[in-house]
Amino acid sequence: MTETMKHTLLFAVVGVLILAEGATDFLFFSGSWNSALVILNMGLISAIMAIGVNIQWGFAGLFNVGIMGFTALGGLAVVLTSTPVIPEAWSSGGVSIVMALAMGALTVVSGVMITKFMAPGKARMLVLAAVMIVGFFVYRAIFDPAVGSVEAINPALQGNIGGLGLPVLLAWPAGGLLAAGAAWLIGKTALGLRSDYLAIATLGIAEIILAVLKNEDWLSRGVKNVVGLPRPMEYEVNLQADPAFLERAAFFGLDGIEASTLYVKIIYALLFTAVLLAFLWMAQMALKSPWGRMMRAIRDNETAAEAMGKDVTRRHLQIFVLGSAICGIAGAMMTTLDSQLTPGTYNPLRFTFLIWVMVIVGGSGNNFGAVLGGMLIWFFWIKVEPMGILLMELVTAGMADGSDLKAHLLASASHMRLFTMGLILLLVLRFSPRGLIPEK
């Protein structure tokens, strides 16, 4: 069996799994096409995230565990781009907030300038400390009252600065830009560090981004969530009221409700597939290009690449920004799919480490591997729960009904997820460290 055949077969397996989810309710499959499409859609988004991580890790060997932060920033971009403009918010405090943020940025920039241009010593420390402290208090003095007035506007529904009222599809590139900007800042400070330190730094950044989203109510409504985000297509209720749509649904032998839910999900799936294919194509082109070869050269031997005159830190920064931007776009897509931003639900295990499992299982360094890993692991992430319950029913079949152990085992089956993901990761690392579709 040739390599290509094996890889096609692996993709076919994922396809069959998703089709089976829709077609049959045998064992852990649910037999619902809606559920199959839900898995497919999130699988596509996961695949895009995996491409982003694969660019950083597989191409350049950068160990980024702050994916959750970039995903969340993508989600924020949807709120900032596509929600309607709230004029009161801007007239009451929005401008001051922007001013305060600019003031904060100015403080940081002058801090960086001072460290760069003053000679090291006591004087520098004193000036730096003075600028930082004064800057901080000025920032808070402008910021706090402005935030108070913005959050006071219709707090039950808004209380945040609102968005630009643009079409939601524009939020996807905006999410990429936002994530890229954050990645540039992080990269500038942390990329000189060695791998473990970079990992811990990115882990911290992700937590901070999330803390900002959870607490800055003026920006993202915090844990009150932003719901009802605009969608790039018609709502189901409108479709159900549309006679032409109902007629077509009847042609396929479906009732209006099921047809409309499927229709919306299929449109999403097509959109996501288009984005995924675009990124896959770009990543493949980049990998084959001289730039991609240079990246791999840097990954495999930094010293040698540097001796050849390659600017390692700059290239690292470049690829860090690119990969993070892709994660940001995927994050924006995910928030659009959910049509809500819920900062409370972001969890590093799900949004950072699970993506890592996808990349490693799929095959680090191979874009097709990342896509395969993304889809496959996502399927299992969803399906481990019913599998676990099935397994537990099997294990506890012989036990007496009503025993505490049996009840506990059945109730805890849903926590098998993390355990299984860890097991899969360890097994792949041990027995097939190059993943399902290894790097060429």
Partner 1 sequence: MDLLNALVALSNFVVIPGLAYGSQLALGALGVTLIYGILRFSNFAHGDTMAFGAMVTILFTWLFQSMGISFGVLPTALLALPFGIGGTILLALLTDRTVYRFYREQKAKPVIFVMVSLGVMFMMNGLVRFIIGPGDQRFADGERFIIKARTFKQMTGLNEGLAIKTTQGITVITAIIVVAVLFWFLNKTRTGKSMRAYSDNEDLALLSGINPERVVMYTWMIVAALATIAGVLYGLDKSFKPFTYFQLLLPIFASAIVGGLGNPLGAIAGGFIIAFSEVTITYAWKKVLNYSLPDSLAPDGLVQLLSTDYKFAVSFAILIVVLLFKPTGLFKGKAV
Which residues sit at the interface with partner 1, rule CB under 8 A?
A: 61, 63, 136, 144, 189-190, 193-197, 199-201, 203-205, 207-208, 211, 214-215, 347-349, 353, 356-357, 360, 412, 415-423, 425-426, 429-430, 433
Are 216 and 222 a contacting pair, CB within 8 Å? yes
Query: Is 127 or 170 the residue whose CB approaches partner 1 more closely?
Result: 127
Q: How far is the CB of 381 from partner 1 (least distance, A)?
A: 11
Using DSSP, state whether 193 is helix, strand or coil.
coil
DSSP 169: G
Q: Please, are residues 139 and 100 in contact by the beta-carbon 8 Å criterion? A: yes
Two structure tokens written together for 203: 């882990």
For 27-52, give the DSSP string. TT----HHHHHHHHHHHHHHHHHHHH
DSSP H helices, 118-194, are 122-151, 171-190
Q: Between 30 and 64, name the residue whose CB sits nearer to partner 1.
A: 64
Nearest distance in Å: CB 86, partner 1: 24
Conformation bin of residue 85: beta by default, left when phi > 0, alpha when psi is -120 to 50: beta
Closest contact distance (angstroms) between CB of 256 and partner 1 is 39
To the nearest whole angstrom, how small is the minimum distance from the Cβ of residue 251 to partner 1? 47
* Identity of the residue, 164 or 193, whose beta carbon is nearer to partner 1 in the bound complex: 193
CA atoms within 13 Å, Cβ hemisphere of 335? 39
Q: How far is the CB of 120 from partner 1 (least distance, A)?
A: 10
Of 377, 435, 281, 353, nearest to 14 by C-alpha is 377
- Minimum distance, C-beta of residue 285 to partner 1, in the bound complex (Å): 27
Nearer Cβ to partner 1 (154/301): 301
**Distance in Å, CB of 417 to partner 1, minimum:** 7
Nearer to partner 1, 312 or 416 (CB): 416
Nearer to partner 1, 111 or 173 (CB): 111
| CB-nearer residue toward partner 1: 181 or 204 | 204
Those residues with Cβ within 8 angstroms of residue 150's Cβ, 6 or more apart along the chain or in another chain: 89, 92, 93, 94, 97, 159, 160, 161, 218
Comparing CB distances to partner 1, the nearer of 148 and 165 is 148
Core vs surface per residue 32-54: b (16+ CB within 10 A) or e? ebebbbbbbbbbbbbbbbbbbbb
CA 97 to the chain's CA centroid = 27
| Residue 228: CB minimum distance to partner 1, A | 26
Among 63, 19, 9, 64, residue whose Cα is nearest residue 40: 19
